């Protein structure tokens, strides 16, 4: 544990701005003297007490509730004091300042009331909960995901992760992996024994079952990561194809300006929508064409930058102009550039707009819709979910992150290598044992039982102050 984790910390734990209630939180070892200074009395553990919260001169800053949670039975595993006052910015700042001031005041022994009390860094309360074994790393991340959830489905799934559903699946995989490692290590440790531990214990079958269980967890983690992060969908096409109208139709609001003038959209317009709880970050871009207008050229350049970073591209065509030679040449040029700039795995969905105005039949493959009337939008939504890889949400789905998916994929790679060693004639048991060890390390990195300080810094720095 780093030295700073021994220092007591304090912060305003509620969001900035006005509110009915605001909370100042203090966490550390030996908070009883500070509780006496701030509250004027000792507090019963885990019992809310209504009292005046006084400044250094004994004048009330506010009247509110004070709660004291002695460690280890607290959120952080340390002593925790929570002061619940009226949610004004000035009131909370005064309470926080009073906590810091009181901590430095000397007691009769000549020692500071709470030496070293400082402002908490982002996520430090939750980091201490992790370091003190109150939660594991996956649960800590679920707290931030629950706060940041943009859909009801994401919030419910984050809550399941926080309750330990995802961690339990990881622990089950790890326990099976440990049992398999034990067999391999036993064979390595007792080579003189006339017993084939691996064959008698069906090591090959255990490894196969472990891989199947991993595949099931990985599939759910993929769904959970999609529910958390969504996909970036860029609408591209020539001017006046109806890109802005399509964005407005998907969002259900007039977000982008729509006119008959080519080149109306000069910069990107972005909106996050949800389909079956999956967030889709939809971006409307400038019409793609050759232009002498400086501002429009900048918009077109930014459009291509967005397209290059997309998870999926909606290539929008104007059905009313499908027979015009210059329009078809423009679409062909865009398609050729898409093929050059996009990775092969990024899908390009052809969408033909303006079915409400077109008299001709569609002469190419693709979805047909009318952004103006909404006809065909449901089919497009289903196609976007299909492209994203979303399946109907299984019962008990938990939220996951990209790093969890990457770790599980690494586990699968090590298990593949282990299976290859096990199938080989005269297998190298030391290499088999090493692959299993690396697989376990990758699993442990998900829950934080094996991880680096650098990773912890990245994860907890994304939290809000006071959490």
Length of the chain: 467
Backbone angle region of 233, left / alpha / beta, with phi > 0 → left and psi within -120 to 50 → alpha: beta
Say how many C-beta atoms besides its own lie within 10 A of residue 3's C-beta: 6
Q: Is 245 annotated as a binding residue?
A: yes
Please tell me what DSSP assigns to residue 165.
H
| Distance separating alpha carbons of residues 421 and 427, to the nearest angstrom | 5
Q: Is 161 annotated as a binding residue?
A: no
327 CA to centre of own chain: 42
| Distance separating alpha carbons of residues 236 and 254, to the nearest angstrom | 18
Q: Is 29 annotated as a binding residue?
A: no
Q: Is 371 annotated as a binding residue?
A: yes
Q: Are 286 and 234 in contact (CB under 8 A)?
A: no
Q: Is 109 annotated as a binding residue?
A: no
Please tell me what DSSP assigns to residue 58.
S
Q: Is 285 annotated as a binding residue?
A: yes
Q: Is 243 annotated as a binding residue?
A: yes
Q: Is 447 annotated as a binding residue?
A: no
Q: Is 444 annotated as a binding residue?
A: no
Q: Are 35 and 43 in contact (CB under 8 A)?
A: yes
Q: Is 287 annotated as a binding residue?
A: yes
Longest C-alpha distance within the chain, in Å? 92
Q: Is 286 annotated as a binding residue?
A: yes
Q: Is 264 annotated as a binding residue?
A: yes
Q: Order of strands across the sheet with 367-368?
A: 269-275, 278-284, 231-237, 312-318, 348-353, 367-368
User: Is the N-terminal amide bond of 24 cis, ω within 30° of 0?
Assistant: no
Please tell me what DSSP assigns to residue 135.
S
Residues whose CB is less than 8 angstroms from the CB of residue 122 and which lie 6 or more positions away in sequence, other chains included: 460, 461, 462, 463, 464, 465, 467
Classify residue 28 as exposed, middle or buried by CB count within 10 Å of its CB (0-12, 13-18, 19+): buried
Closest CA to 440 of 460, 414, 458, 417: 414
Q: Is 221 annotated as a binding residue?
A: no
Q: Is 261 annotated as a binding residue?
A: yes
Q: Is 337 annotated as a binding residue?
A: no
251-278 in b/e form (b: 16+ CB < 10 A) is beeebbebeeeebbbbebbbbebebebb
Q: Is 240 annotated as a binding residue?
A: yes
Residues whose CB is less than 8 angstroms from the CB of residue 268 and which lie 6 or more positions away in sequence, other chains included: 283, 284, 285, 286, 302, 303, 306
Can you say whether the dihedral through the CA atoms of 156, 160, 162, 167 is positive or negative? negative
Q: Is 433 annotated as a binding residue?
A: no
| Distance separating alpha carbons of residues 113 and 106, to the nearest angstrom | 6
Q: Is 158 annotated as a binding residue?
A: no
Q: Which residue has the tokens 């409400």?
A: 356
Residues in the annotated binding site for Mg(2+): 244, 265
Residues in the annotated binding site: 25, 82, 134, 240-245, 259-265, 284-287, 370-372, 467
Residues in the annotated binding site for (6S)-5-formyl-5,6,7,8-tetrahydrofolate: 25, 82, 134, 467
Residues in the annotated binding site for GTP: 240-245, 259-265, 284-287, 370-372
Residues in the annotated binding site for K(+): 240, 259, 261, 264
């Amino acid at each position: 544990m780093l030295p700073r984790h021994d220092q007591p910390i304090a912060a305003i734990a509620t969001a900035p701005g006005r509110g009915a209630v605001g909370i100042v939180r203090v966490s550390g070892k030996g908070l009883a003297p500070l509780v006496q200074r701030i509250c004027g009395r000792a507090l019963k553990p885990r019992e809310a007490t209504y009292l005046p919260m006084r400044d250094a001169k004994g004048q009330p800053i506010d009247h509110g509730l004070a709660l004291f949670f002695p460690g280890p039975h607290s959120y952080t595993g340390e002593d925790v004091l929570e002061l619940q006052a009226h949610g004004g910015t000035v009131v909370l700042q005064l309470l926080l300042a009073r906590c810091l001031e009181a901590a430095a005041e000397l007691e009769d022994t000549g020692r500071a009331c709470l030496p070293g009390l400082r402002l908490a860094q982002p996520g430090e309360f939750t980091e201490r909960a992790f370091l003190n074994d109150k939660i594991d790393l996956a649960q800590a991340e679920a707290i931030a995901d629950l706060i940041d959830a943009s859909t009801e489905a994401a919030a419910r799934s984050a809550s399941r992760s926080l309750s330990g559903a995802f961690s339990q699946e990881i622990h089950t995989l790890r326990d099976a992996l440990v049992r398999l490692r034990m067999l391999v290590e036993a064979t390595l440790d007792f080579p003189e024994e006339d017993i084939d531990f691996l064959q008698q214990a069906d090591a090959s079958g255990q490894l196969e079952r472990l891989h199947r269980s991993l595949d099931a967890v990985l599939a759910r983690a993929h769904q959970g990561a999609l529910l958390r992060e969504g996909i970036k969908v860029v609408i591209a096409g020539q001017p006046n194809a109806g890109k802005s109208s399509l964005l407005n139709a998907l969002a259900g609001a007039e977000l982008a300006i729509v006119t008959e003038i080519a080149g109306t959209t000069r910069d990107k317009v972005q909106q996050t929508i949800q389909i079956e709880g999956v967030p889709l970050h939809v971006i409307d871009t400038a019409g793609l064409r050759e232009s002498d207008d400086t501002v429009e050229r900048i918009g077109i350049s930014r459009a291509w930058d967005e397209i290059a970073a997309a998870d999926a591209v909606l290539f929008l065509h104007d059905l009313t102009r499908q027979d015009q030679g210059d329009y078809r040449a423009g679409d062909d040029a865009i398609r050729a550039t898409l093929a050059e700039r996009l990775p092969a795995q990024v899908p390009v969905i052809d969408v033909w707009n303006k079915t409400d105005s077109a008299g001709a039949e569609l002469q190419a493959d693709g979805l047909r819709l009318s952004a103006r009337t909404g006809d065909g939008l449901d089919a497009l939504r289903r196609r976007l979910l299909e492209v994203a890889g979303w399946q109907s949400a299984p019962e008990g789905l938990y939220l996951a992150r990209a790093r969890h998916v990457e770790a599980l994929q690494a586990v699968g790679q090590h298990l593949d290598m282990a299976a290859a060693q096990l199938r080989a004639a005269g297998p190298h048991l030391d290499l088999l044992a090493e692959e299993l060890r690396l697989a376990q390390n990758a699993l442990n990195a998900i829950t934080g039982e094996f991880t680096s300080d650098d990773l912890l810094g990245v994860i907890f720095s994304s939290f809000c102050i006071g959490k």
